[in-house]
Structure 1
Amino acid sequence: MIRILLMSFVVLAMAGCASNVVTDYSSTAVFGNYSTWAFAPEAGESSFVSLDGTRVQAAVERELNRKAMRKAPDNDADLLVNWQIVEEDRLDRTGVGLGFGFGSGNFGWALSSAPPIREVKEGKLVVELVDTSTKQVVWRAASRRYLTESQSPESRRELIDEVVAEMFSKYPPGLD
């Protein structure tokens, strides 16, 4: 019994260490050559910056400042930051199924109904850094944590801050 509890604890501890972001990068890019950045004109893919867009931009700017990178006008920047919140639909089972049963020995009867299912819209944050001279993406990060419609403004800001900080903890690549 103790062995099973110990194994369960180890599995849970390892699951807690799993990364909440996935990154990819160009192996030919020389990241030491990049010192300035700007937001891409199409960042966020909307004519207006949304509330979450403002939160994302503030978090990205803070993290790039921590990397000693300087914000510059679009035409002078080494990198353009493109970001988007990719909307995804997920089916969510809510509630608990009802059931009853009776029986004796190895024989029994039961009746149950499946819990209700509803569609939930979630948003996954994706950030890309584009080399302005080659117009190629040189670094990309995608969140494994999602924004949901039901989150409060404060919890949305906290989640965005955490995710963006974790994304840029892996920039430039090769330092982790």
Structure 2
Amino acid sequence: MIKKLFMTSALLLLSACTSVPDWDYDKSVEFANYKTFAWAPNADLKGSINDYQINDLMEKRVRSAISQNLSAQGITLVEGDKADMLVNYHASVESKLEANTLNTTYGVRWNYWGWGVQTHTTTREYDVGTLIIDVIDNASQQLVWRGAKEGRLRTKQTPEQREAEINKTVAEILENFPPKTQY
């Protein structure tokens, strides 16, 4: 029984840590017209934050994942002035605090009567990263689509694990580009 309770609690905790991508877009835009893209001049992960995981290696992984996803949709990378849309991306890292409290009760014991409650609280600090991908209409220079996903940053990963995680995150963000449901 205790093992089932522990497993259920662990699954609930893990499911609470997963993040669903968030999207927003301009409903008046005809996204089918976008056939080419270029990188926005200010597309850079490192520009806004100071975190050891955000570096040139991660920058290459993000660009590669975005290029692969857009290419799979038939959108071609071209020079900036020839592009239908510009793609910008950025990241943020935020420290969060998690607190867990465990309450235990006890009852009758030898030479001792009564009820008691013992509380044990643990806290843990962790980092949450958010990757944001913006699509800008090149002709109007207006933001037309934004997707974002946040998740816990993990340390001690191999380069292959980091690449797989970035590929998965970018694919989840771009899952709704172009928007599949128009309001």
- In the superposition, the TM-score normalised over structure 1's length comes to 0.75
Equivalence for 1:69: 75
Q: Does 1:118 align with 2:133?
A: no
Equivalence for 2:4: none
CA contact (8 A) 1:80 1:130 kept: yes
Q: Which has the higher mean CA deviation after the structures are superposed, 140-149 or 33-42?
A: 140-149
Equivalence for 1:31: 31
Q: How far apart, CA to CA, are the structure 1 residues paired with 2:70 and 2:76? A: 8
1:109 Cα deviation (Å)?
Answer: 1.9
Q: How far apart, CA to CA, are the structure 1 residues paired with 2:130 and 2:150? A: 7
- Deviation readout 1:80-121 (Å, 9 max, x if unpaired): 111111112111348x86x87643299312334322x23222
Q: Which has the higher mean CA deviation after the structures are superposed, 79-88 or 106-115?
A: 106-115
Q: Which has the higher mean CA deviation after the structures are superposed, 147-156 or 63-72?
A: 147-156
Aligned length: 160
CA contact (8 A) 2:127 2:152 kept: no
- 1:34 is matched by which residue type in structure 2? Y
- Deviation readout 1:63-95 (Å, 9 max, x if unpaired): 01001111111122111111111112111348x
- 2:117 is matched by which residue type in structure 1? A
Query: How is 1:1-176 mapped onto 2 (pairs within 5 angstroms)?
Result: 20-46=20-46, 50-93=56-99, 102-104=106-108, 107-115=114-122, 117-174=123-180
- 1:31 is matched by which residue type in structure 2? F
Instruction: Describe the SS at the equivalent of 1:138.
Output: strand
Structure 1 unaligned spans of 5+:
1-7
Q: How far apart, CA to CA, are the structure 2 residues paired with 1:41 and 1:145? A: 26
Q: How far apart, CA to CA, are the structure 2 residues paired with 1:112 and 1:49? A: 42
- 2:34 is matched by which residue type in structure 1? Y
CA contact (8 A) 2:126 2:152 kept: no
Pair 172,19 (structure 1): closer, same or farther in 2 beyond 3 Å: farther
Structure 2 unaligned spans of 5+:
1-7, 48-53
1:45 Cα deviation (Å)?
Answer: 4.7
Q: How far apart, CA to CA, are the structure 2 residues paired with 1:167 and 1:141? A: 5
Q: How far apart, CA to CA, are the structure 1 residues paired with 2:130 and 2:167? A: 14
Q: Which has the higher mean CA deviation after the structures are superposed, 51-60 or 106-115?
A: 106-115
Pair 49,137 (structure 1): closer, same or farther in 2 beyond 3 Å: farther
1:141 Cα deviation (Å)?
Answer: 0.7
1:122 Cα deviation (Å)?
Answer: 2.1
RMSD across aligned positions (CA): 3.2
CA contact (8 A) 1:20 1:145 kept: no
